[in-house]
Amino acid sequence: MRVIGIIAGVIIALFIWLGFSFYQSIMDLPDQLEDKATARAQSESAITNIDEVIQYHGTNDAYVVLRGNNSSNEELYVFVPEDDEPLVTKKTSEGVSSDTIKEKLTDRFSPEKIIAIKPGIEVNNEKQQVLVWEATFIDKNDRYTFAYYYFSNGEYWRSRTIRQS
């Protein structure tokens, strides 16, 4: 009887240890993706200084978006896809600012709460990549909404709404 108790205790301890290890690996994954994206961007793009790291999970693909400067001190975004697709680099001066998008969002939707405004890449109906600003917010009807604006000119593109439970 005592041997069965010891074996059961060892098995329970093993499952607890495996669960904790699995949990840790899941929690470390975003940091690992960011580190990998940062290293790739520094070796394959003009970015020399990184000020912000943004996770973007689009409709078709996920990206790590880095905001920083090049050697000429021009601010830029580098979009690093999770797979081995090419990087996309855009100077911030080639698009509108997140503050401009916030104003346009407020005028069009009058959100109750703005959760995030971040740059990303989506695919349009012609299967072409489109640089966008994704604005995530709660609307007047308590729905979770994603509104997309073109990065280059800030024009509204589309939106998607999810009812909260």
Where residue 34 sits, what CATH number does that domain have? 3.10.450.40
Domain residue limits at 110: 95-163
Of 93, 128, 146, the residue at which a domain comes to its end is: 93
Mean pLDDT of 35-40: 86
59 in the same domain as 111: no
44 in the same domain as 18: yes
pLDDT at 71 over 50: yes
Report pLDDT for 22.
Answer: 55
83 in the same domain as 10: yes
Is 84 strand, coil or helix? Answer: coil
What CA–CA distance (Å, rounded) separates 52 from 67? 5
Numbers of helices and strands, H then E, in the chain: 2, 8
The pTM of this model reads: 0.80
Strand order, beta sheet including 156-163: 113-123, 129-138, 143-150, 156-163
Report pLDDT for 29.
Answer: 46
Name which of 8-22, 50-64, 66-80, 93-107 the model is least confident about. Answer: 8-22
101 in the same domain as 155: yes
Of 38, 63, 93, the residue at which a domain comes to its end is: 93
Mean pLDDT of 137-147: 94
111 in the same domain as 64: no
Are the C-beta atoms of 12 and 6 separated by less than 8 Å?
no
Tokens 């081995």 appear where?
84
54 in the same domain as 8: yes
Buried/exposed code over 76-103 (b: 16+ C-beta within 10 A; e: otherwise): bbbbbbeeeeebbbeebeebbebeebbe
Number of folded domains in the chain?
2
